[in-house]
Copies of this chain bind each other. A is one copy, B any other.
């Protein structure tokens, strides 16, 4: 065994061996679904989510005759997307609180960059189904769903249903956390379950924040730490925005 001098401080090592501000390998594969008007298979490392955008020519009751459209999302996880099998929500007969929380977040995030009035009375439903889970499924979902939504709107333009794309900006999301006192970007499952603080940041291409959700799992965090996480998120989403642009160009 190596004999360390007293006071030796180990260099920083994330379980994933990534640098503190390093994303996992992210790929966005457009057109991954055969039938959907828009789709994207998004991978953040091992995490894999299939995002499809389905257009329907009607709106929920509260928007009827408003001339305005709607964007909504549903989220699901295959039972064996996880390390040990989870119950199938359809068999249990209800969606968990976590599922509902996530699908509400995805819907809100996409509506934040969509000109609903420019859509006319149509609804786009984003289905984000997790094929493999390894942390960050909600942020991957938002990031991939934006691509699917963009492509669905382009599809509608091709069909002469829309004149121009109602998306006003890009939106992407990334998780950040504090791991052994250090703010780190894009937590995988292992890191997430051990992080002291865990946050999800949804940001726009123009640099604005759409949503922040940060939770202390262990000790409370400070304003400085929140600011550091936000800085990391800004860096991470900048990379995601570039990948989104590539994906819609394909």
CA distance A102 to B90 in the complex (A): 14
The majority secondary structure among interface residues of chain A is mixed
A226 sits at the interface (CB 8 A): yes
Interface stretch of the complex, out of A12-20, A22-30, A123-131: A123-131
A239 sits at the interface (CB 8 A): no
Render A77-120 as a binary contact track against B, CB cut-off 8 A, 1 for contact. 01111111100111101111111110110001000100000000
A94, A112, A204, A223: most-surrounded residue (chain B CB, <10 A): A223
Number of copies: 6
Given A50-B131, A80-B52, also A214-B211 (CB < 8 A): yes
Query: Is A101 in contact with B99, judged by CB distance below 8 angstroms?
Result: no
Render A47-76 as a binary contact track against B, CB cut-off 8 A, 1 for contact. 000101010100000000000000000101
Given A35-B83, A112-B220, also A212-B209 (CB < 8 A): no
Cross-chain contact of A212 among B85, B210, B213 (Cβ < 8 A) = B213
Contacts of A89 in B (CB 8 A): 90
A93, A216, A219, A230: most-surrounded residue (chain B CB, <10 A): A216
User: With contacts A101-B101, A203-B220 known, what are 17 further pairs, Cβ within 8 A?
Assistant: A33-B131, A35-B84, A35-B132, A36-B85, A50-B78, A54-B79, A74-B88, A78-B127, A88-B90, A90-B94, A96-B100, A97-B100, A98-B104, A100-B100, A223-B227, A223-B230, A226-B230
Q: A: which residues have CB within 8 A of B? A: 33-36, 39, 46, 50, 52, 54, 56, 74, 76, 78-85, 88-91, 93-101, 103-104, 108, 112, 125, 127, 129, 131-132, 134, 199, 203-204, 206-216, 219-223, 226-227, 230
